[in-house]
Structure 1
Amino acid sequence: MTTQNRSLRSLRVLVADDNPLNLRLATRLLREMGHSGVLVQDGAQALQALAAQRFDVVLLDVTMPGMDGLEALRELRARERSGGPRTAVIMVTAHDLPEDRRRLQQAGADGFVAKPIDAERLAAELKRVVGA
């Protein structure tokens, strides 16, 4: 991690992924950037965490058992339309094709990063989406 990827402000990040290795990688990258993370393992847990706490941004895996990331994103955006605060969401996906990006944007995603998560790409997307 280069010093240029160190954030000017610390973000509170919710990370939702069913893979423990992906959770550890995201946690390490976020910590190196100066951010803190709360970890959950599926979309339903992500929605529960978002209802209980405020986060600057969510890293939301697209493919998870139970409630997947796309379903959780749609539910989050529906809650926000009903008066909840807007939360930035960066989708994490193994599918990095233009049509995949369009589908995620149409569902309400603010950004996306491909798996495996690359530190430079994550830092750039966090900066673009939330200015950190």
Structure 2
Amino acid sequence: MGGMTTTTPAMRPLRVLVADDNPLNLRLATRILRDMGHSGVLVGDGHKALEALRAQTFDLVLMDVTMPGMDGVEALRELRAREAAGMQRRTPVIMVTAYDLPEDRRRLLDAGADGYVAKPLDAERLAAEIRRVLG
């Protein structure tokens, strides 16, 4: 029994912004990230996600598509516009959605998402997508 984790062998600890309005989803995402050796900062909507991204540096964003106020797609488009304008550095974004249809995936990638996972969050699937997105 070694101290090595089998989920993400060669990955350094990441600082992840998790944007979701559902407390259960936030708790689940936090637990999965912690088990992978990463730390999460939690926010409840797109406006708060953009504020956090303006104020702090993150390695990755996990963004729920459906949130009140400003949804994940709006927040993603705004973030990509800021990055294109040179207002902040580019941050990889994995969208989290309940809808897993090809047209949904296309819409999210067109909006600037780097990756995509379906709900309910699955530790192995999320780990694989994080590895894929961060190369």
Q: What range is the shorter-chain TM-score in? A: over 0.9
Map 1:52-71 to 2 at 5 A.
52-71=55-74
Residue type of the partner of 1:4? T
Residue type of the partner of 2:75? A
Aligned-residue RMSD, C-alpha: 1.2
**Large movers: runs of 4+ above 2 Å:** none
Match of 1:46 among 46, 49, 52: 49
Residue type of the partner of 1:82? A
TM-score normalised by the chain length of structure 2: 0.93
Q: Does 1:97 align with 2:101?
A: yes
What is the match of residue 27 of structure 2?
Answer: 24
Query: Whole-Å Cα distance in 2 between the matches of residues 11 and 96 of structure 1?
Result: 26
Could you tell me which runs of 5 or more consecutive residues in structure 1 were left unpaired when the two chains were aligned. Answer: none
Residue type of the partner of 1:5? T
Residue type of the partner of 1:94? A
Percentage of pairs with the same residue: 77
Q: How many residues align?
A: 130
8 A Cα contact 1:6 1:32, kept in partner: no
TM-score normalised by the chain length of structure 1: 0.95
Could you tell me which runs of 5 or more consecutive residues in structure 2 were left unpaired when the two chains were aligned. Answer: none
Greater C-alpha radius of gyration: 2
